[in-house]
Amino acid sequence: MIHSIAQKEFVSILRDRRFGVLSVLVLALLLAATLVGRASYRTLQQERVLAQSTVNEQFRNQPARHPHRVAHYGSFAFRPKSGLSLLDSGVDTFTGSAVYLEAHQQNSVNFSQAQQSGSLIRFGEMTVAFVLQLLVPLLIIFLCFGAFTQERETGTLKLLLSQGLTMRQVAWGKVRGYSQAVALVVAPALALAATLLFTGEEFASGADLAARLTLFVLGYAVYFFLFVVGSVVVSATQASSRAALIMLLGFWIVSGIILPKATANLGASLYPTITKAQMDADVHEQAQHGINGHDPHDKRAEALKASLLKKYGVDSEEKLPVSLAGVQMAAGEEYSAKVYQQHFAALNATYERQNRLSDWAGLLNPYQAIRPLSMGLAGSDFTHYVHFQQAAEAYRYGLVQRLNGLQASMGPGDKERRLDAHTWHELPVFSYQTPALAWALPHLLLPMGALLLWAGLLSWLGFRLIANTTVA
Amino acid sequence: MTYLLEAKQLRKQYADKLALRGLNLQIAPGEVFCLLGQNGAGKSTTINLFLGFVQPTSGAAFVNGLEVATNSLQIKKHLAYIPENVMLYPHLTGLENLALFSRLAGFRYPESELLTYLTDAGLPPEAVRRRVDTYSKGMRQKVGIAIAVAKHAQVLLLDEPTSGLDPKASNEFSELLRRLSGQGTAVLMATHDIFRAKEVGTRVGIMREGELVDVRPTAALNAQELEQLYLTYMN
């Protein structure tokens, strides 16, 4: 019986011109967004790969130099895009893509797309995720708002139920039929994306990407199911199609526009972030408590010198087996890195708290559950950004300390000497891999749980409500 | 005697209106009971109570001995329903509509049999594969009749079934009802059409303000006498 109802709904929808027009429009948008996403991915990825290899080459091909000069010459770390970011660019557009790595300081990631684009990008990009998160639900609403009200208004519901069906069976049949229609619109775009991801040479396809894509599709399947069930339930409980449509559109506006903005504003008010200028000033002030490797009269540098002389049992800097300046640089770097990390960690923790508030709002609003899940699976959320930031800092710190070590090993009078150009070829270059799904999943448990909770509760409560609605 | 339809002190109170006041009614197999009455007299409420679409305030309705309120799903196997204005699924053809409703009732007919049901109900053969949104009201009504007949129900509940049918189709419908009642089907038909009631009914009941005020065998009255009786109660 449920199958017959589902088939009837599916065939009726396919023959409805209004659905034809709307679905072709949404499908065209999805396909266009997929292709534009791929083109943008390809351009940005090529740029970043080329830039990374160029700066790596430049770094390795430095002439004979003092290692601390090399540390100040620095390098860049470019964030490669994750494969699924072609479907959901997440916060990538607004976070930076490159960070300058140099001695003594941890720079923030700069050069975001939004910084380099016109102001229109602030209205949001036309990504596959945007279409899936906001426009497909709108299509579902237009598709399903009359599921029961039209049957009631025309009288077909009585005829249907007189055949011996329950309201619950009719509702499940409708949910199945509408779901098939939605799949028909969405599946071609996702199939195209999957084909691009697994055949495009620019994508590093593999089991991890396949797993991410599978969960991405499953997440959206649950999200669409919610809208289909919700629309059918609202239609069954409203007296008229008009009332059902108004209620569903109201929900769409509140969930897709008002609540996300409200929670973002609330998060920013509850957990305010300090300005960059303030953070720089705080870091500078605190870093002064550590050794300044460039200041030979620094008191802490003097103390370190004394301890080194004692350690090696000598009475002057010149008799030390190591370069005092190199050791001081290493100690100074260790201290300043800690200071930077404390401040960046505090700043990131504030952002995390703001994001967490929005994630918890996913329990009230399915849009705020699918959004972090989608970004997280696409590798374009804030958590993945922080992972890159930390990887870049770990590389910077390791590189600078290695150079400080080289300087220390040069012994006294190192400032007058250079290390051979060949030395820089042996230093590691920055290379970054998006973390595996297993790393990302624990961060996505809340939005996944929220979506499943919504699906379970809405199905259970909604169908109970439908079973108790009156027919005549 | 086992009645296929039975109402015992059936009463329905809506928020602001008493729609049915203690209806007692029995309809035996092969009987065609026509309910006459003005709009709002309680005819449709009676049919809705037998269908289980509304719950009685008190009393009980029975279909083939099963109480409707507690067996709302089982009783639907025994009955077929034709509303005043049969509305079908507009994007499906007449044939597809019949196939769908038959499947839902548990019957999977081959296409040839479906075509026979439709043409027997009076639908022109050239119309069966057209989408229902191109049908006239009468054509939809004929598909509704085919749906009811194809269900092979023991009870037919008809709410103004000939409304919108042309005289020829109405006569064919009367003939169909006679044939079905001859096979033992019990029919409860709500109608405004006194002459159709006299023609096909075995008994007529007159309803006024939720009350069955008179019941007569149609054989005891001619059409004029029935009309006179009806008008007497309505005035």
Q: What are B30-88's pLDDT values in tens digits?
A: 999 999 888 888 888 999 999 988 989 999 999 988 999 898 888 988 899 988 888 89
Whether residues B83 and A163 touch (CB distance < 8 A) is answered with no
Which residues in chain B are contacts of A8 at CB distance < 8 A? 89, 92, 100
pLDDT of residue A105: 76
Whether residues A8 and B100 touch (CB distance < 8 A) is answered with yes
Encode B23-59: b = buried (16+ Cβ within 10 Å), e = exposed: bebbbbbebbbbbbbeeebbbbbbbbbbbbbbebeeb
User: What residue spans of A16-166 are helical by DSSP H?
Assistant: 17-60, 67-73, 113-116, 128-130, 136-144, 149-154, 156-161
Whether residues B81 and A158 touch (CB distance < 8 A) is answered with yes
Kindly list the distances between the CA atom of residue A208 and the CA atoms of A205, A215, A359, A444, B213, in Å, as whole numbers in the listed order.
8, 11, 24, 16, 78
pLDDT-derived band of residue B29, with 50, 70 and 90 as boundaries? very high
pLDDT of residue A100: 86
Whether residues A159 and B96 touch (CB distance < 8 A) is answered with no
Whether residues A472 and B48 touch (CB distance < 8 A) is answered with yes
Contact of A160 with chain B, judged by CB distance below 8 Å, is answered with yes
Chain B nearest CA to A16, separation (Å): 7
Which of A4, A5, A158 is facing B53, going by the closest CB pair?
A: A158
Whether residues A16 and B91 touch (CB distance < 8 A) is answered with yes
Are B40 and B56 in a shared domain?
A: yes
Contact B41, B212 (CB under 8 A): no
Rounded to 5°, the CA angle A392-A395-A400 comes to 125
Are B99 and B69 in a shared domain?
A: no
SS3 per residue for B1-36: CCCCEEEEEEEEECCCCEEEEEEEEEECCCCEEEEE
Whether residues B91 and A15 touch (CB distance < 8 A) is answered with yes
Contact of B48 with chain A, judged by CB distance below 8 Å, is answered with yes
A9-39 pLDDT, tens digit each:
898 888 888 888 888 888 888 888 888 888 8
Number of C-alpha atoms within 13 angstroms, CB side, residue A188?
15
A284-317 pLDDT, tens digit each:
788 777 666 666 677 777 788 888 788 878 887 7
- Sorted by where each begins, the domain ranges of chain A are 2-467
Cα torsion A219, A221, A223, A229 to 10°: value is -150
pLDDT of residue A114: 54
Chain A nearest CA to B14, separation (Å): 12
User: Chain A residue with minimal CA distance to B55?
Assistant: A470
Q: Provide CB contacts within 8 A for A318, sequence distance 6+.
A: A412, A413
Contact A288, A337 (CB under 8 A): no
CB within 8 Å of chain B, chain A residues 164-193: 164-166
Whether residues A159 and B51 touch (CB distance < 8 A) is answered with no
Are B145 and B160 in a shared domain?
A: no
Whether residues A155 and B144 touch (CB distance < 8 A) is answered with no
Q: Tell me: pLDDT of A456 over 90.
A: yes
pLDDT-derived band of residue A118, with 50, 70 and 90 as boundaries? low
Are B7 and B22 in a shared domain?
A: yes
User: What is the maximum span of chain B, computed from C-alpha positions, in angstroms?
Assistant: 52
B178-220 pLDDT, tens digit each:
888 898 899 999 988 888 888 888 999 989 888 888 888 988 8
Cα torsion B183, B186, B192, B197 to 10°: value is 50
Separation of alpha carbons A125 and A89, rounded Å: 9
Whether residues A8 and B83 touch (CB distance < 8 A) is answered with no
Nearest to B143 by CA among B107, B97, B111, B91: B97
Q: Tell me: pLDDT of A116 over 70.
A: no
Are B16 and B66 in a shared domain?
A: yes
Chain A nearest CA to B88, separation (Å): 6
Average pLDDT, chain A: 85
Nearest to A419 by CA among A1, A82, A128, A73: A73
User: Chain B residue with minimal CA distance to A12?
Assistant: B91
Mutate to test the interface with A, among B91, B133, B155 (most CBs of A within 10 A): B91
Q: Provide CB contacts within 8 A for A123, sequence distance 6+.
A: none
Whether residues A166 and B73 touch (CB distance < 8 A) is answered with yes
A419-443 pLDDT, tens digit each:
888 888 888 888 888 888 999 999 9
Whether residues B53 and A11 touch (CB distance < 8 A) is answered with no
pLDDT of residue A153: 87
Write the CATH number for B176: 3.40.50.300
B106-151 pLDDT, tens digit each:
999 999 999 999 998 888 999 999 999 999 888 888 898 899 889 9
Q: Tell me: pLDDT of A115 over 80.
A: no
Separation of alpha carbons B80 and B145, rounded Å: 9
Out of B103, B128, B152, a domain closes at: B152
Which residues in chain A are contacts of B87 at CB distance < 8 A? 154-156, 159
Q: Which sign does the torsion angle of CA A315, A321, A326, A328 carry?
A: negative
Which residues in chain B are contacts of A16 at CB distance < 8 A? 91
Contact A210, A439 (CB under 8 A): no
Are B143 and B162 in a shared domain?
A: no
Per DSSP, the three-state class of A193 is helix
Are B73 and B171 in a shared domain?
A: yes
pLDDT-derived band of residue A122, with 50, 70 and 90 as boundaries? low
SS3 per residue for B66-129: EECCCCCCHHHHCEEEECCCCCCCCCCEHHHHHHHHHHHCCCCCCHHHHHHHHHHCCCCHHHCC
Name the domain count of chain B: 2
Which residues in chain B are contacts of A165 at CB distance < 8 A? 104
Out of B132, B152, B172, a domain closes at: B152
pLDDT-derived band of residue A376, with 50, 70 and 90 as boundaries? very high
B85-100 pLDDT, tens digit each:
888 999 999 999 999 9
Q: Which residues pair with A65 in a beta bridge?
A: A419
> Which of the pair, A454 or A98, is modelled with greater confidence?
A454
Whether residues B104 and A1 touch (CB distance < 8 A) is answered with yes
Mean per-residue pLDDT, A119-147: 82
Contact of B194 with chain A, judged by CB distance below 8 Å, is answered with no
Pairing verdict, β B155-159 and B18-27: unpaired
A230-263 pLDDT, tens digit each:
999 999 998 899 999 999 999 999 999 999 999 9
Which of B90, B96, B101 is facing A159, going by the closest CB pair?
A: B101
Which residues in chain B are contacts of A160 at CB distance < 8 A? 101, 104
Contact B65, B73 (CB under 8 A): no
Pairing verdict, β A105-106 and A98-102: antiparallel
User: Chain A residue with minimal CA distance to B47?
Assistant: A472
Which of B76, B87, B92 is facing A154, going by the closest CB pair?
A: B87
How far does Cα B192 stand from its chain's mean position?
13
Are B4 and B64 in a shared domain?
A: yes
Out of B152, B181, B201, a domain closes at: B152
Task: Give residue B101's domain range.
Answer: 85-152
Contact of B173 with chain A, judged by CB distance below 8 Å, is answered with no
Are B71 and B2 in a shared domain?
A: yes
Pull the structure tokens for residue A207: 């089991």
Are B133 and B29 in a shared domain?
A: no
Q: Tell me: pLDDT of A40 over 90.
A: no
Chain B nearest CA to A443, separation (Å): 47
Chain A nearest CA to B233, separation (Å): 28
Contact of A5 with chain B, judged by CB distance below 8 Å, is answered with yes
Which of A5, A159, A166 is facing B81, going by the closest CB pair?
A: A159
Contact of A257 with chain B, judged by CB distance below 8 Å, is answered with no
Nearest to B155 by CA among B2, B4, B1, B3: B4
Chain A nearest CA to B232, separation (Å): 31
Q: Tell me: pLDDT of A413 over 70.
A: yes
pLDDT of residue A103: 81
Are B158 and B72 in a shared domain?
A: yes
Contact A82, A384 (CB under 8 A): yes
pLDDT of residue A204: 63
User: Chain A residue with minimal CA distance to B73?
Assistant: A164
DSSP assignment, residue A273? P
> What one-letter code names the amino acid at B32?
V
Are B162 and B136 in a shared domain?
A: no
Is residue B159 within a helix (H) or strand (E), and if so which, with residue range? strand B155-159
CB within 8 Å of chain B, chain A residues 313-352: none
Contact A98, A453 (CB under 8 A): no
Separation of alpha carbons B184 and A459, rounded Å: 44
Which residues in chain A are contacts of B151 at CB distance < 8 A? 163
This model of the complex carries an ipTM of: 0.88
Mutate to test the interface with A, among B51, B73, B86, B87 (most CBs of A within 10 A): B87
